[in-house]
Amino acid sequence: MAAKMHVDSLHEGTVMLEDGRLEDARDFFFEKAKAFVGENTRLPSIQGGQDGGGFRNDTYKDLSPIDRAALMACCNGMGKYYVAKRDFESALSWFEETQIVFLHMKFNSPAPMYEWKSFTLDVPELTHQRTVAFIGAAEIYEKLGNTATATERRWECSTAVVSLSDAHKSSPAMKRLNNTDKIAAAIQLRHPDPSICHKLSVTCPNLQVQGSWKKLTLKPATKTIGARQRFASFIWDSHLYVIGGWTGDIGFQFYKDFWCLDLADETGRQWRILPEYPLPVRALLSASMVVHREEKRAYLITGRSRVDYFDLVTERWGSIKTTFQATEEDRRCGVKNNWPFRGENLTDATVVINKGKIYTFGGQHADTNIGCNLFMELDLATKRWKRLTGYVMSPPDADYSIPGPRQSACGWVGPDGDRIYLFLGVATRDGPMATGKPELHGESESYPYRDFWSWSISEGKWRRERISGNPPITRTEMGYTFNEKLNKVVVFGGYTPGIPTMFPTQSKQCEYIYYADTFIYDYPQPGEESSKPPYTSADPERCTTPSSTSYPKWKQVLTKGFPTYRCHSQLNSDPDTGKVYLFGGYTNTDFVPSRNSFKSRPFGDVWQLRMDVPGEGGDFASVDIEEETRTANIGPWKRCFTCGNSGMWKRCSGACGGKAFFCGTECQKEGWREHKNYHSCRKV
């Protein structure tokens, strides 16, 4: 195909932007972009560029490198226009469009490539436009206080060019964009960063909401739940249930015990022990439990054909025998002996329940440490399993029509009850190295995904989704829950292998990040129709901007304080009250300072997330944001009431009962009068 346009011919639009002729620049870039994609493609491709929705777009696939670079330049021009208009949501949607145009290059590869294969062409203009989009987006995320995604964009941008020639990647323009000082500053942050989070407020309600984490106080008991990770949990009848897991400290502790906490009992909350998992095993690790509300049973998915359940009324264990009849196609996809989960084992899979059917995606079984991409359905009425898509073991080539092999992805059933969503997760590529299993695709480093998918139950197919709004963009082992009262998904914390964190004061560097930030995937409220932006028009005046249309998108929940940075915590929503709770998880003490020298620290704490959102469940009325700004616990640290500095400060020992912290005697003196009035404190 002959090139339609060269990037140089877009210079005119750049000049308009520089001269402040913003509307002229918008019309210029929009018309040029429309000339590429035609009338029937929506730009930007929020809710899908073409009929059928989703990320994939045939027009983008077949572009020549020169056209591709020019289209990317148009999208970047639109992004810059909206930055100048301070419409950050629309700007982000255009910078994301640039990335989508670029990534479609991959769909032309002769053999489908797994997501972890980095690829690019040695075409400087392509790299330059992609870099503009990365940095344009990173600067907006920085303004919004989404430091995690800002850091990821800068890091990904600087590493995406590593394999390219020096002349290509080290041009003055590229060096200016890939500013090494800014990258160094970005990887020194934590997410949230104590020096930033208390200053953030909601400046862009389409992309942010105010929230507050509250640690629940429990009544002390002689026997109570131990701190743990890799447990299973759920909420039923306003009770939080937790089973199994382990802690990996000095002495390993393996659990198969089962606990229950009455969330509604605000003054007498205490863990109550239930009958432990009845099988003669040492522990129950990385399994999942889902509640069938009509049956009042919680089903435990471990990969066994005999599926255990806990009767929530009688509080007794039972089991059902399930079966799987492998077809020829199932056998081609790696099923042996009429059972998909090798070794009758499935861990760290993504498990959801919908209308009497349990779905599992990915996870590990006896023969894979990377994770698989098996997508299975168990019909509880017939007790039969069915393989919907995917492979028991990943074949040499990828398959672009289905999500890649992974574990620990977020998953939920969307509000319409017809779509199952799958977000991020990890291919544990260092798994085979550790275990010596002869698996394809092993490497020294794990790969955290950056993709988003949905499965239509009625259509029986996957669709790759665009990631819109202000998202967490790459991570795994995060807590997640779909809250049906609020019509939102909540995601907390997690872990990213492969992006470093630097601690210059301790001259230390970790090759990973642990998070304590919070996000929601916000569906339009009932009654507020999700409107498809009419971007198909070539007339920019007639095109509603992304920020004035309504569609599902990510928002960051800004919290003044937060539970310590961690992975493997679990979030659950109470379906009756709409309240959101967090339990457990663990952190690496290289990342989070601790008094002792353990390598990892498990948690056994319970938190509630309150959010300033419409509808029942947000529970925000009792939150005093001004007070939290000065006193909330910021992960492992305290904030000085007077100067706002964070550290391991001492609690006030006056009559307030320790409502404020001070970094030293000077701040204590200076802030004393104000604290006395604020918290009704006096010396004792």
Nearer to Zn ion, 500 or 644 (CB): 644
Of 660, 507, 503, the closest CA to residue 592 belongs to 503
Q: Which stretch binds Zn ion (CB under 5 A): 136-144, 166-174, 290-298, 646-654?
A: 646-654
DSSP symbol at 523: P
d(CA 652, CA 631): 11
**Which amino acid does the sequence have at 298?**
A
For Zn ion, give the closer residue by CB, 616 or 626: 626
Is residue 631 within the footprint of Zn ion (CB under 5 A)?
no
Residue 575 exposed, middle or buried by CB count within 10 Å (0-12, 13-18, 19+): middle
Q: How far apart are CA 226 and CA 461, in angstroms?
A: 42
Question: What tokens were used for 169?
Answer: 């990647």
Closest C-alpha to 379, from 286, 289, 318, 292: 292
Q: Which of residues 96-125 bind Zn ion (CB under 5 A)?
A: none
Q: Which of 226, 261, 260, 262 is nearest to 246 (CA)?
A: 226
Pick the stretch among 145-153, 558-566, 608-616, 666-674 that binds Zn ion (CB under 5 A): 666-674
User: Which phi and psi (to 5°) does residue 157 adopt?
Assistant: -65, -45
Using the rule CB under 5 A, is 643 a contact of Zn ion? yes
Which residue number, 206 or 646, has a Cβ lying nearer to Zn ion?
646
Residue 505 has which token pair? Answer: 């004061």
**Which residue is associated with the tokens 């991020």?**
424
Q: In the complex with Zn ion, which residue's Cβ is closer, 553 or 639?
A: 639
* By the rule CB under 5 A, 648 interacts with Zn ion: no
- Measured from the CB atom, the residue of 3 and 643 that comes closer to Zn ion is 643
Query: Do residues 439 and 472 touch, judged by C-beta distance below 8 A?
Result: no
Using the rule CB under 5 A, is 667 a contact of Zn ion? yes
Task: Enter the tokens of residue 9.
Answer: 């011919």
- With respect to Zn ion, which residue has the nearer C-beta, 167 or 684? 684
Region near Zn ion per CB under 5 A, out of 113-121, 196-204, 523-531, 674-682: 674-682
The least CB distance from residue 360 to Zn ion, in Å, is: 51
Instruction: Decide whether 546 or 654 has the Cβ nearer to Zn ion.
Output: 654
Least distance CB 52 / Zn ion (angstroms): 57
User: In this structure, are strands 426-427 and 447-448 parallel, antiparallel, or unpaired?
Assistant: antiparallel
Q: Report if residue 654 touches Zn ion, rule: CB under 5 A.
A: yes
Residues 585-624 as x/- pattern, contact with Zn ion by CB under 5 A: ----------------------------------------
- In whole angstroms, how close is the CB of 394 to Zn ion at the nearest point? 53
**DSSP assignment letter at 111:** S
CA–CA separation, 391 and 394 (whole Å)? 6
Q: Does 374 bind Zn ion (CB under 5 A)?
A: no
Listed ranges 368-376, 500-508, 609-617, 637-645: which one lies at the site for Zn ion (CB under 5 A): 637-645
> For residues 321 and 683, which CB has a smaller minimum distance to Zn ion in the complex?
683
- Residue number, 563 or 636, with CB nearest to Zn ion: 636
CB of 665 to Zn ion, least distance (A): 10
> Read out DSSP for 425-442?
-EE-TTHHHHH----TT-
Please enumerate in sequence order all residues whose Cβ is within 8 A of that of 250, keeping only pairs 6 or more positions apart, or say none: 598
The CB-of-637 to Zn ion minimum distance in angstroms stands at 12
Question: Tokens at residue 438, please?
Answer: 């002869």
Comparison of 515 and 649: residue with beta carbon closer to Zn ion:
649
- Tell me if 644 sits within 8 A of 198, measured CB to CB: yes
Type of residue found at 143: K
Q: How far is the CB of 649 from Zn ion (least distance, A)?
A: 8
Based on CB atoms, which residue is closest to Zn ion, 221 or 643? Answer: 643
Residues in the interface with Zn ion (CB under 5 A) total 9
Q: Which region, judged by CB under 5 A, interacts with Zn ion, from 214-222, 365-373, 611-619, 651-659?
A: 651-659
In the bound complex, what is the minimum distance in angstroms from residue 652's beta carbon to Zn ion?
A: 3
Considering only 94, 368, 663, 668, the residue that binds Zn ion (CB under 5 A) is 663
Check binding of 681 to Zn ion (CB under 5 A).
yes
> Which residue stretch of 68-76, 468-476, 621-629, 653-661 sits at the interface with Zn ion (rule: CB under 5 A)?
653-661
Stretch that binds Zn ion, among 126-134, 167-175, 205-213, 644-652 (CB under 5 A): 644-652
Please report how close the Cβ of residue 500 comes to Zn ion at its closest, in angstroms.
Answer: 30
Q: Residue 223's beta-bridge partner residues? A: none
Nearest CB to Zn ion, comparing residues 339 and 662:
662
Site for Zn ion in 67-86 (CB under 5 A): none
CB nearer Zn ion, residue 301 or residue 663: 663
Interacting span for Zn ion (CB under 5 A) from 142-150, 330-338, 579-587, 635-643: 635-643
Of 497, 492, 420, 483, nearest to 452 by C-alpha is 420
Could you write out the three-class secondary structure of 322-350? CECCCCHHHHHCCCECCECCHHHCCECCE
The 10 Å CB-count burial string (b at 16+, else e) for 371-394 is bbbbbbbbebeeeebbbbbbbbbb
Q: Does 647 bind Zn ion (CB under 5 A)?
A: no
The two structure tokens encoding residue 499 = 């992006």
Q: Which of 642, 646, 668, 672 binds Zn ion (CB under 5 A)?
A: 642
d(CA 615, CA 356): 27
Sheet strands side by side (includes 306-311): 288-292, 297-301, 306-311, 316-321
Q: What tokens does 219 get?
A: 């009544």
Q: C-beta of 194: minimal distance to Zn ion in Å?
A: 13
State CA 13 to chain mean position distance: 36
Out of 71, 197, 352, 652, which residue is the one contacting Zn ion (CB under 5 A)?
652
Indicate whether 640 belongs to the interface with Zn ion (CB under 5 A): yes
Q: Specify the stretch interacting with Zn ion by CB under 5 A; choose among 75-83, 482-490, 509-517, 654-662.
A: 654-662
Q: At a CB cut-off of 8 Å and minimum separation 6, what does 68 contact?
A: 60, 101, 102, 104, 105, 126
State whether residue 258 is helix, strand or coil.
strand
Q: Which of 606, 660 has the CB closer to Zn ion? A: 660
Place of tokens 């430091």: 147
Minimum CB distance to Zn ion smaller for 498 or for 658 = 658
634 forms part of the interface with Zn ion (CB under 5 A): no
Does 424 interact with Zn ion (rule: CB under 5 A)? no
Q: Find the part of the chain contacting Zn ion (CB under 5 A) among 298-306, 363-371, 440-448, 641-649.
A: 641-649
Quote the least distance from Cβ 632 to Zn ion, whole Å. 15
Q: What is the DSSP letter of 671?
A: H
Closest CA to 605 of 217, 38, 120, 173: 217
DSSP structure class, residue 355: T
**Bridge pairing between strands 271-274 and 350-354:** unpaired
Which residue number, 607 or 637, has a Cβ lying nearer to Zn ion?
637
* The token pair that represents 311 in the structure block: 């009767």
Site of interaction with Zn ion (CB under 5 A):
640, 642-643, 652, 654, 656, 663, 667, 681
